[in-house]
C-alpha cells in the first residue's frame, strides 16, 4: 500500500498535493471553491484521470455549499456555472465528466442543505477508486511472469488516483509477488510525470527501476526485452481504442514490433461506451511553451511554433489486454468490450 496521497478533504476544503513541485517540494494547495478546484485541474496541480474525477467530485460539494449560501433552495440552478467550469477544466480524461454526472444524479434526492450528501458521494467515489485499484492490481499482476521486466509511461500511481494506482498499482502488486525484476520508466515529456512522479513513487518503495527517454522505447524492447508495456488510460472508447499520455502509442508500436505485450489498466470510470472509437476522442492540446521552454528556460528559438497534443490514441489492435476492476478483456474490440461491459453492469 502506497503512503502517497494526492488529495484529501480537510476542515471543509480540498487539499491537493501540488504535483508541479514534486519531487523537490511537497506543498499542499487548499481549494475552498469549485473554481479553485477547476483551476488546479487545468493547471496540473492534480492530474491523472481518476484523481481528476475525484477532485471534481469534491469540487461539486464546494459548489453546492456556495450555491446554497447564495440561493437557498434555488441552489440547483445556481450551481450550473460551477459545474460547467469544472467540466471544461480538461477535455480528454472522461473520469471528469463521469464524476460530475454521478454527482449531478444525486441532486434530485436532496432536501435542504446539499453539502453533506454531496460530500458523502464524493467520498464514495474516492473510496471506490481505491478499491478498484486494488482489484485491478490483482487481475493485472496475475498476467505477469515472475522475474519480468516492464516499461511504463507517465504516472499512473497513487498520485494519479485515489491511492495505489492503475498501471503502477499492477506493478506495485506484481513486485510484491516477486513478478517484477525491473521497471523502466519513460520520462514522459513535456511534464515529466515519469521522471518526477513515477520515479518518486517507485523509489519510496524500493522497487528496482531505471529512467529512459521516451524515444528509447524501440531500442529498449530490442535490447533489454521487457515483457510488457503497462499503461493507464484517460478514456477507453467502445471499441477499445485507448487515449493515454502522448508517447503511449509509440511505445505500444515498439512493444508489438518486438513481441512484447501491451496491458492497459483503468477503472470502469475511464470507459466511455458512448464514444465509438478513438477518432471521436477529443485530444487535449496545451500551449507551445510547454515544448519550447524547460523549467522556464527557452530550449527552442524565440517564437518557434509547436504542436503539443498531450495525449494520443493507441488503436485497440495493438492492445493485448485491458484490465479493470471487474477483470480482463483480452484482444479488445467492439464486440468483446460490449459483452464485458454487459456482464460488468455498465
Ligand atoms: O496529463 P496527465 O498527467 O493528467 O496524464 C495522465 C495520464 O495520461 C495517465 O496515464 C492516465 O490519466 C491514467 S492515470 C491512472
Q: Is the pLDDT of residue 2 over 80?
A: no
- State how beta strands 311-314 and 242-245 pair: antiparallel
Cβ proximity of 16 and 40 under 8 Å: yes
Percent of the chain exceeding pLDDT 70 equals 100
Residue with cell 492492445: 319
Ligand 1: centre distance to CA 42 (Å): 13
pLDDT beyond 90 at 345: no
How far apart (Å, rounded) are the C-alpha atoms in residues 128 and 6?
Answer: 16
Return the best residue to mutate from 97, 154, 262, 312 for the ligand 1 pocket (most ligand atoms within 8 A of CB).
154
Determine the 3-state secondary structure of 285 from DSSP: strand
**Residue of 234, 241, 272, 312 marked active site:** 234
191 pLDDT band (50/70/90 cuts)? very high
E strands within 21-89? 28-31
State if residue 47 touches ligand 1 by the CB under 6 angstroms criterion.
Answer: yes
Taking residues 128-137, report their average pLDDT.
98
Q: Bridge partners of 285?
A: 309
240 lines ligand 1 (CB under 6 A): no
> Which residue from 16, 22, 48, 249 has its CB within 8 A of the most atoms of ligand 1, so it is best to mutate?
48
What is the CA(311)–ligand 1 centre distance, in A? 9
Give Cβ neighbours of residue 101 (< 8 Å, ≥ 6 apart). none
Dihedral angle computed from the Cα positions of residues 147, 49, 44 and 7, in that order, rounded to the nearest 10 degrees: -90
Annotation says 127 is catalytic: no
**pLDDT tens profile 242-296:** 999 999 999 999 999 999 999 999 999 999 999 999 999 999 999 999 999 998 8
Closest to 48 (Cα-Cα) out of 191, 182, 144: 191
* Ligand 1 atom index nearest CA of 167: 15
**C-beta 247 within 6 A of ligand 1:** no
Better-scored residue on pLDDT, 1 or 96: 96
| pLDDT score recorded for residue 28 | 98
Is the minimum distance from the CB of 166 to ligand 1 under 6 angstroms?
yes
User: Ligand 1 centre and the CA of 119: distance in Å?
Assistant: 25
Task: Quote helix, strand, coil % in the chain, to nearest 5.
Answer: 45, 20, 35
Is pLDDT at 1 greater than 80 in this prediction?
no
| Burial tier of 335 (Cβ tally within 10 Å: 0-12, 13-18, 19+) | exposed
List the chain domain ranges: 7-132, 133-344
In 10 A of CB 285, how many CB atoms? 15
Closest to 287 (Cα-Cα) out of 263, 305, 314, 269: 305
Mean pLDDT over 135-141 rounds to: 98
Distance, CA of 342 to CA of 339 (rounded, Å): 5
The Å distance, Cα 117 to ligand 1 centre, comes to: 29
Question: Is any ligand 1 atom within 6 A of the Cβ of residue 244?
Answer: yes
Q: Would you say the CB of residue 160 lies under 6 angstroms from ligand 1?
A: yes
Dihedral sign for Cα 8, 157, 234, 124, please: negative
Sheet holding 327-330, edge to edge: 209-212, 180-186, 148-152, 228-231, 261-265, 321-324, 327-330
**Which strands form 311-314's sheet, in the order they lie side by side?**
271-272, 235-237, 242-245, 311-314
7-132 and 133-344 in the same fold: no
7-132: CATH topology is 1.20.120
| pLDDT above 90 coverage of the chain, percent | 98
CATH architecture observed for domain 133-344: 3-Layer(aba) Sandwich (3.40)
**Are 243 and 283 a contacting pair, CB within 8 Å?**
yes
- Among residues 112, 115, 4, the alpha carbon closest in space to that of 60 is found at 115
Nearest to 7 by CA among 154, 125, 91: 125
Which pLDDT value is given to residue 57?
Answer: 98
Q: Characterize the bridge pairing of strands 148-152 and 228-231.
A: parallel
Question: Closest Cα to atom 5, ligand 1: which residue?
Answer: 48
DSSP, collapsed to helix, strand or coil, labels residue 265 as strand
| Residue to substitute in 90, 151, 193 for testing ligand 1 pocket (most ligand atoms within 8 angstroms of CB) | 193
Average pLDDT for residues 46-73, to the nearest whole number? 98
Amino acid at each position: 500500500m502506497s503512503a502517497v496521497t494526492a488529495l484529501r478533504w480537510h476542515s471543509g476544503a480540498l487539499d491537493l498535493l501540488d504535483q508541479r513541485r514534486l519531487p523537490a517540494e511537497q506543498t499542499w494547495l487548499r481549494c475552498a471553491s469549485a473554481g479553485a478546484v477547476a483551476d488546479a485541474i487545468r493547471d496540473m496541480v492534480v492530474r491523472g484521470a481518476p484523481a481528476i474525477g475525484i477532485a471534481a467530485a469534491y469540487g461539486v460539494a464546494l459548489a453546492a455549499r456556495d450555491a446554497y449560501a447564495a440561493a437557498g433552495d434555488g441552489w440547483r440552478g445556481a450551481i450550473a456555472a460551477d459545474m460547467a467550469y469544472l467540466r471544461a477544466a480538461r477535455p480528454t480524461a472522461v473520469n471528469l465528466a463521469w464524476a460530475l454526472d454521478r454527482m449531478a444524479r444525486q441532486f434530485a434526492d436532496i432536501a435542504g442543505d446539499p453539502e453533506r450528501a454531496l460530500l458523502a458521494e464524493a467520498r464514495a467515489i474516492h473510496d471506490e477508486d481505491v478499491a478498484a485499484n486494488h482489484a485491478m492490481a490483482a487481475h493485472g499482476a496475475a498476467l505477469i511472469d515472475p522475474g519480468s521486466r516492464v516499461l511504463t509511461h507517465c504516472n499512473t500511481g497513487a498520485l494519479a488516483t485515489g491511492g495505489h494506482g492503475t498501471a503502477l498499482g499492477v506493478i506495485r502488486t506484481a513486485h510484491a509477488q516477486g513478478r517484477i525484476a525491473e521497471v523502466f520508466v519513460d520520462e514522459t515529456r513535456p511534464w515529466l510525470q515519469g521522471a518526477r512522479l513515477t520515479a518518486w513513487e517507485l523509489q519510496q518503495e524500493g522497487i528496482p527501476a531505471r529512467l529512459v527517454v521516451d524515444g528509447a522505447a524501440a531500442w529498449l524492447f530490442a535490447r533489454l526485452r521487457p515483457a510488457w508495456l503497462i499503461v493507464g488510460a484517460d478514456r477507453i472508447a467502445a471499441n477499445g481504442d485507448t487515449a493515454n499520455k502522448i508517447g503511449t502509442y509509440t511505445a505500444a508500436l515498439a512493444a508489438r514490433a518486438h513481441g512484447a505485450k501491451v496491458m492497459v489498466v483503468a477503472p470502469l470510470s475511464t470507459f466511455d461506451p458512448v464514444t465509438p472509437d478513438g477518432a471521436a476522442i477529443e485530444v487535449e492540446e496545451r500551449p507551445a511553451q510547454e515544448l519550447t521552454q524547460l523549467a522556464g528556460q527557452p530550449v527552442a528559438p524565440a517564437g518557434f511554433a509547436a504542436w503539443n497534443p498531450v495525449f494520443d490514441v493507441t488503436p485497440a489492435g495493438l492492445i493485448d489486454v485491458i484490465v479493470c476492476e471487474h477483470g480482463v478483456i483480452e484482444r479488445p474490440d467492439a464486440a468483446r468490450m460490449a459483452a464485458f461491459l454487459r456482464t460488468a453492469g455498465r
